[in-house]
Amino acid sequence: MSHTPGPWHTHDEMVHAKFQIEGQEFHYAVANALEHSRVNQPTMKANARLIAASPDLLEACKARTLLLFEGPEAVCEKYDLPWHHSTLWMKDANERDAKDEVAEDYVGNLEFAAIKKAEKP
């Protein structure tokens, strides 16, 4: 069994996912950071943001693991990254360096965006 696909978003202490049927958008609850909780509302909202960021954080972890264990070529292939547009490639660097740069930037951006989503007020 897999989790509800992201992206997830928050509305106060609720975490929602959205889906479309015949062009119409629907939202449904994925989690409730309030239920059975004795924490204050700011903490509940922070918990909801962290839960909502979970699919993004998971994807960032998977991308980093792929980069570490299979290399930049695997990241460029999986995410269909245009490594030939890298600044290194444009400066006549070798293909490996260009892929390294593009893959590292992409994974770093995934990580940054996931962390920002989890922590934003």
Which tens digit of pLDDT belongs to each residue from 34-68? 766 677 778 888 888 999 999 999 999 999 999 99
Q: Are residues 62 and 26 in the same domain?
A: no
* Same domain, yes or no: 78 and 115: yes
Mean pLDDT of 81-99: 68
- Up-side HSE of residue 65: CA atoms within 13 Å toward CB? 6
Same domain, 117 and 71: yes
Residues with Cβ within 8 Å of residue 115, at least 6 apart in sequence: 53, 57
Looking at the 3D structure of the chain, how many domains does it have? 2
Shared domain for 15 and 36, answered yes or no, is yes
Residues 15 and 2 placed together within one structural domain of the fold: yes
Boundary of a domain, candidates 51, 69, 89: 51
Say whether both 22 and 58 belong to one domain. no
Q: Are residues 84 and 113 in the same domain?
A: yes
Asked if residue 118 and residue 64 are part of one domain, the reply reads yes
Give me the sheet containing 14-21, strands edge to edge.
Answer: 8-11, 14-21, 24-32
pTM of the model: 0.80
Domain that holds residue 13: 1-51
Residues 31 and 68 in one domain: no
Structure tokens, 66: 């792929």
Q: Are residues 28 and 71 in the same domain?
A: no
Q: How far apart are CA 120 and CA 71, in angstroms?
A: 31
d(CA 93, CA 68): 22
Predicted confidence (pLDDT) per residue in 68-83, tens digit = 999 998 999 999 988 6
Alpha helix (H) residue ranges in the chain: 41-52, 54-70, 72-78, 87-90, 95-119
Q: Are residues 112 and 66 in the same domain?
A: yes
